[in-house]
Structure 1
Amino acid sequence: MATIFFDLDGTLIDSIEGITRCVVHAFERLGEPVPGEHELRGWIGPPLRDSFAPKLGDPARVERAVEFYRERFETDGWREHAVYAGIGDTVAALAADGHRLAVVTAKNEPHARRIVEHLPFGGHFEDVIGATPCGRLSHKPELIGEALARLGLAADACWMIGDRHMDIHGARHHGMPSVGVLWGFGGEAELREAGATHLAESPAGLRALFATAAC
């Protein structure tokens, strides 16, 4: 059996509402123009500092933006999401099949833990590995490395499942196979270009994939 790392935003939950509302809050608190709706979608996936830096430039203002974002996320944003249809059944089925499951996300770890703990299927995850508030750990290669160390695993015994190129690049950095999911925010072209080992069109396809993959 494999150990399977799941991304959170765009893979387990549709979090566009919570993330974009918190980004808008941060720009408003800073007195900066709010990006358009299409641009706001770009905040889903990358570390917060990577997204704010090109718009704000000054590192001190970037840190203020992150603080304002988390200010709203702490009270409201963490629960502003929807669970993707069928993903809970798939997670439960993979756990029943004997796979070890964990969440590996660029979201702030305390926030990610709170979200996962409130998911109806969250108890199937052995651990939640997320970004450190200070940003020391924030990119997928580092986060996957932390997950491997924390769980005492070799990369060739694990898979990464995610919806963005960052998830796939993180897996490739460690020589780990990956599954790009097509119900999130990245899209097929992005995931293919990143080098995903497999693509999944729906959560139901994940169980079938792991039933036949060499695990």
Structure 2
Amino acid sequence: MRIHLASNNAKKLKELRRILDGAGLHGVEIVPLSDVPPYPEPVEDAGNFAGNAIIKARAGVEATGLLSIADDSGLCVDALNGMPGVLSARWSGSHGDDAANNALLLSQMEDVPDGKRGAAFVSTCALAIPDGEVVVSEGRWEGTILRACQGENGFGYDPLFSPMETPGRSAAELSADEKDALSHRGKALAGLVPEIAKLVR
């Protein structure tokens, strides 16, 4: 079975492969954006994670005819009333500039005391099936915002996010296996595994 992952993010691709392998679903070929004919990037205008994930997954099915998985995720900071949220990737103004996004978040959180630096990574993954059905799974990862970047692994806000399960360590200091077991995207992707397993069998 072939499943299109509507992303070119190599780390997301590896994460999905690890989760499917861990579930014993070895007969699944994951096809990233780079391996399908180019198609227009859909406008993510739903205003929430689930809606944006569904838009991207449905666009993937329409363009490729394959089962398609897409995710929309971001960091929701308590002191910022849940922002950056769906704006996480472009919080600083330019899309995907991790260093600038982290620097802006640090400056916005500079005067926030330690007891009020709660945050959660949220991921919603959508699996769109060519018959029109869409399955949605959400994962949350609770933690706090650090006062400086730590670690070299991960991407996005990982260096500033200290998971509840590993206080003092950032998500960018975790191994791939640790992150899969704890992370928002790992939980959301794992929630799709039973549906994928039914389709594989």
Q: Greater helix share, 1 or 2?
A: 1
Q: Greater strand share, 1 or 2?
A: 2
Greater length-normalized contact order (CA 8 Å, ≥ 6 residues apart): 1
TM over 0.5: no
Q: TM (normalized to structure 1)?
A: 0.28
Q: TM (normalized to structure 2)?
A: 0.30
